[in-house]
Amino acid sequence: MSPQAHIMLRNVSVTFPVLSFRDRSLRSRFVRAVTLRRAAARPHIVTALDGIDLDIRAGDRLAIVGANGAGKTTLLRVLAGIYHPTAGSLDVLGRRLSLFDLSAGFDEEATGYENIMRRGLVIGARRIEIDARRAEIAEFTELGDRLDLPLRTYSSGMMLRLIFAVATAVEGEIVLLDEWIGVGDQQFRKKARLRLDEIVARAGILVLASHDLDLIKSTCNRAILLEQGRIVVSGTTEEVLARYLGAAKV
Ligand X SMILES: Nc1ncnc2c1ncn2[C@@H]1O[C@H](COP(=O)(O)OP(=O)(O)OP(=O)(O)O)[C@@H](O)[C@H]1O
Binding residues vs ligand X (CB under 6 A): 16, 18, 46, 48, 66, 68-74
Q: How many CB atoms lie within 10 A of CB 1?
A: 11
Q: Which is nearer to ligand X, 71 or 112 (CB)?
A: 71
Q: How many CB atoms lie within 10 A of CB 171?
A: 15
Residue 95 CB, nearest approach to ligand X (Å): 24
Cβ-contact 188, 161 below 8 angstroms: yes
Residue 244 CB, nearest approach to ligand X (Å): 12
Q: Which is nearer to ligand X, 138 or 231 (CB)?
A: 231
- Separation between Cα atoms, residue 218 and residue 206, nearest integer Å: 13
Residue 242 CB, nearest approach to ligand X (Å): 20
Residue 213 CB, nearest approach to ligand X (Å): 13
Task: Give 92's strand partners.
Answer: 7
Q: How many CB atoms lie within 10 A of CB 113?
A: 15
- Separation between Cα atoms, residue 38 and residue 219, nearest integer Å: 55
Q: Which is nearer to ligand X, 16 or 30 (CB)?
A: 16
Residue 208 CB, nearest approach to ligand X (Å): 12
- Separation between Cα atoms, residue 188 and residue 164, nearest integer Å: 10
Residue 210 CB, nearest approach to ligand X (Å): 9
Q: Which is nearer to ligand X, 6 or 72 (CB)?
A: 72
Q: Please state, in angstroms and as integers, the Cα–Cα distance from residue 16 to each residue in 11, 46, 74, 86, 218, following that order.
A: 17, 5, 11, 9, 34
Q: Which is nearer to ligand X, 101 or 114 (CB)?
A: 101
- Separation between Cα atoms, residue 230 and residue 236, nearest integer Å: 18
Q: 92: helix, coil or strand?
A: strand
Nearest to 171 by CA among 194, 141, 193, 204: 204
Q: Which is nearer to ligand X, 76 or 199 (CB)?
A: 76
